[in-house]
């Protein structure tokens, strides 16, 4: 799991806010009765529950010879992703990737299946690297460029083995590259995301349904403040 601030420590969270994100953080806290850092900690707990159910995986510091699969603290994996990688392991390969599902609320396409990863070969949690490429775990943009430049050392796995939970609190949803977000816009997206997690996933993603249900419960606890 990529390093993040300790969401349980409000002072530490606020100390690490960037100038660009602070107005959105403050708007969230002025709009909802669940503070931003508390919501993020709950997201992380759901993700940790998911990671604990991945068969054959070690969560945390990886052994020197292991394949490493990076993940953000709000995303999920299929329970067999590690065993699938073990079967696919090839000494000639340095990287592995697969299709991920992006779960996000869009105005006209509530369940969005993304296969191009927004122009990147690697998304936040749809690739694995051998020890020689371990420096690519920090960010998917750098990993994508490297994977594209060294395609002969990359193996693609069939199936959708991970899900990116692009939730209401993500920087993209709160307005990537925008100076702030209005209360009205934030509430519109809140209502859209409340509906999103009440929808059933496609059959190929049945493994993720328990976490979607937990997200529905979390969204139900989030109410606009008066």
pLDDT > 90: percent of the chain: 76
If you average pLDDT over residues 65-90, what whole number do you get?
A: 95
Does position 188 have pLDDT exceeding 90, yes or no?
A: yes
Q: What is the pLDDT of residue 60?
A: 82
Q: Place 115 in a pLDDT band, splitting at 50, 70 and 90.
A: very low
Segment 125-134, tens digit of pLDDT: 999 999 999 9
Stated pTM of the model: 0.92
**How many Å is the Cα radius of gyration of the chain?**
18
pLDDT of residue 181 exceeding 50 = yes
Report pLDDT for 116: 46
CB neighbour class for 132 (10 Å; exposed up to 12, middle 13-18, buried from 19):
exposed
The DSSP-derived string for 12-52 is: HHHHT--TTTHHHHHHHHHHBSS-HHHHHHHHHHHHHHHHT
Q: What is the pLDDT of residue 1?
A: 85
Evaluate if residue 112 carries a pLDDT over 60: no
Domain coordinates in residue numbering, the chain? 41-226
Mean pLDDT (whole number) for 77-99: 95
pLDDT in tens, 35-56: 999 999 999 999 999 999 999 9
Classify residue 108 by burial, with Cβ atoms within 10 Å: 0-12, 13-18, 19+: exposed
């Amino acid at each position: 799991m990529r390093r993040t601030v300790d969401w349980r420590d409000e002072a530490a969270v606020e100390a690490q806010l960037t100038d660009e994100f602070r107005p959105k953080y403050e708007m969230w806290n002025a709009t909802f009765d669940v503070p931003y850092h508390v919501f993020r900690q709950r997201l992380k707990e759901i993700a940790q529950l998911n990671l604990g159910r991945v068969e054959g995986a070690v969560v945390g510091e990886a052994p020197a010879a292991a394949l490493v699969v990076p993940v953000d603290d709000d995303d999920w994996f299929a329970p067999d992703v590690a065993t699938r990688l073990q079967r696919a392991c090839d000494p000639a390969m340095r990287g592995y990737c697969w299709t991920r599902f992006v779960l996000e609320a869009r105005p006209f396409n509530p369940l969005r299946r993304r296969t191009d990863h927004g122009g990147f070969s690697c998304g936040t949690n749809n690739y694995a690297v051998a020890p020689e490429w371990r420096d690519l775990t920090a960010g998917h943009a750098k990993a994508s460029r490297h994977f594209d430049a060294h395609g002969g050392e990359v193996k693609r796995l069939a199936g959708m083995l991970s899900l990116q939970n692009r939730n209401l609190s993500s920087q993209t949803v709160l307005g990537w590259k925008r100076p702030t977000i209005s209360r009205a816009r934030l509430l519109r997206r809140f209502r859209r995301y409340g509906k999103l997690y009440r929808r059933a996933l496609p059959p190929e993603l049945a493994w993720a349904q328990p976490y979607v249900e937990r997200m529905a419960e979390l969204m139900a606890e989030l109410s606009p403040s008066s």
